[in-house]
């Protein structure tokens, strides 16, 4: 889901809910899966991918033995990954697989559509989960849960670098993934001078200096991978049970993906504690004032707000055409459409 930008101050990032808008992960959203997302593969390529990833109709249940073989072969330092399950629609082959604790392979149920598994990388987690489910349903992205990732609280929020371009995300993505920078591709995607140059020799001369600049920028980002994302979300009405106001269209369980306006390919998937998912007023007076403001906003059950999400980039995720970094939330600043502060959540 792409949120409407603030009418006062355009936000640099767009939010796509269910990390995973291209995969339509939520079962309730499956009917919308035919919608074409920006950056999606050409129809012919998408068709061949779909055929290659189609569920296997000969098997429809958990296969711990197949998963165990891949787990044994996945040597190296491991962490916990949370994989999204995309359950088949009525016209697709059925499956008996449901999220559940599977002690034999260390898999655990996270939610109705999320299962966790330990692996050395997002790609390995995806491969293991496909085998574990007998390829009987589509597995969406597998994002690190970052439960053990540390955030240095001594780093001032004012020093977090604001994400303004997909290039910054790309530099972090290749750096964290320890893979070489595809300098020519990045230059073609993000450098105006390189894009405008048609002379092959001049492009090569330009690329040399661009590559050095990209490497320097990447080194700076990796030295302190603390970044700020400016985006828009919504604030719901007061919930008397939780004594809080829910932040809508913004999830902290890996189901929110931020992408910059200049690139749908490189994005940021965020994870964090549930405290970042709502605004808790200090007292009843503040609660009443904020409730009145939401009711007067004229936007029905919610009020559009600007959010600044402070995160530490910690891992990478590759899925279909997406190249994402996975980041742990350190703080969230919430303001109204006129940027009057509402809450600072830390």
**Residues 159/224, Cβ–Cβ less than 8 Å:** yes
Q: Please, how many CA atoms are within 13 Å of residue 254, restricted to the half-sphere of its CB?
A: 28
- By residue range, what is the domain housing residue 127? 23-144
Which positions ≥6 away from 48 have C-beta within 8 Å?
Answer: none
Specify the pLDDT at position 49.
42
Q: What is the Cα–Cα distance from 176 to 162, expressed in whole angstroms?
A: 18
Is 55 in the same domain as 195?
no
The tokens for 41 are 């593969």
- The pLDDT confidence band at residue 33, using thresholds 50, 70 and 90, is very low
Q: How far apart are the first and last CA of the chain?
A: 26
90 pLDDT above the threshold of 90: no
Last residue of a domain, one of 128, 144, 160: 144
- pTM beyond 0.95, yes or no: no
Specify the pLDDT at position 60.
75
Tens of pLDDT, residue by residue over 60-88, are 799 999 999 999 999 999 999 999 998 87
Burial 30-56 (b: 16+ CB within 10 A, else e): beeeeeeeeeeeeeeeeeeeeeeeebe
- The pLDDT confidence band at residue 48, using thresholds 50, 70 and 90, is very low
Least confident segment among 16-25, 72-81, 213-222: 16-25
Work out the average pLDDT over 17-21: 42
Tens of pLDDT, residue by residue over 140-157, are 999 999 988 999 999 999
Vertex 242, ends 236 and 243: CA angle to 5°? 75
Tens of pLDDT, residue by residue over 305-344, are 999 999 999 999 999 999 999 999 999 999 999 999 999 9
Is 215 in the same domain as 199?
yes
Q: What is the Cα–Cα distance from 261 to 14, expressed in whole angstroms?
A: 7
Q: What is the Cα–Cα distance from 253 to 175, expressed in whole angstroms?
A: 24
CA distances to 61, 85, 95, 98, 131 from 134, in Å: 6, 13, 9, 12, 5
Is 39 in the same domain as 118?
yes
Is 157 in the same domain as 248?
yes
Work out the average pLDDT over 212-235: 97
Residue in 25, 32, 5, 38 with CA at minimum distance from that of residue 253: 25
Identify the residue whose tokens are 């992960």: 25
Is 16 in the same domain as 112?
no
Is 211 in the same domain as 94?
no
Specify the pLDDT at position 59.
65
- Give the number of domains in the chain: 2
Beta bridge partners of 230: 308
Is 341 in the same domain as 246?
yes
Last residue of a domain, one of 107, 124, 144: 144
């Amino acid at each position: 889901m792409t949120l409407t930008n603030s009418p006062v101050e355009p936000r640099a990032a767009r939010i796509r809910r269910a990390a995973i808008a291209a995969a339509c992960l939520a079962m309730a959203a499956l009917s919308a899966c035919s919608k074409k997302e920006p950056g999606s593969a050409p129809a012919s390529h998408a068709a061949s991918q779909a055929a290659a990833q189609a569920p296997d109709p000969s098997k429809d249940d958990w296969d711990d033995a197949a998963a165990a073989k891949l787990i044994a072969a996945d040597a190296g330092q491991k962490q916990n990954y949370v994989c999204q399950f995309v359950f088949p629609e009525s016209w697709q082959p059925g499956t008996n697989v449901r999220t559940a604790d599977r002690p034999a392979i260390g898999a655990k149920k996270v939610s109705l559509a999320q299962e966790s598994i330990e692996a050395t990388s997002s790609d390995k987690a995806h491969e293991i989960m496909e085998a574990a489910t007998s390829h009987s349903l589509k597995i969406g992205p597998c994002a690190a849960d970052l439960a053990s990732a540390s955030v240095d609280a001594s780093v001032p929020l004012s020093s977090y670098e604001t994400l303004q371009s997909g290039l910054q995300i790309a530099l972090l993505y290749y750096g964290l993934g320890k893979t070489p920078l595809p300098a020519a591709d990045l230059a073609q995607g993000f450098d105006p001078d390189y894009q405008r140059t048609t002379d092959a020799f001049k492009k090569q001369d330009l690329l040399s200096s661009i590559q050095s600049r990209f490497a320097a920028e990447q080194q700076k980002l990796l030295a302190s991978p603390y970044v700020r994302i400016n985006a828009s979300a919504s604030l719901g009405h007061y919930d008397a049970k939780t004594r809080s106001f829910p932040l809508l269209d913004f999830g902290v369980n890996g189901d929110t993906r931020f992408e910059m306006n200049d690139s749908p390919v490189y994005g940021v998937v965020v994870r964090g504690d549930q405290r970042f998912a709502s605004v808790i007023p200090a007292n009843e007076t503040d609660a009443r004032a904020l409730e009145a403001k939401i009711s007067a906003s004229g936007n029905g059950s919610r009020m559009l707000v600007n959010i600044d999400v402070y995160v530490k980039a910690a891992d990478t995720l590759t899925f279909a055409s997406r190249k994402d970094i996975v980041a742990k939330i350190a703080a969230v600043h919430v303001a109204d459409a006129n940027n009057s502060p509402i809450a600072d959540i830390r």
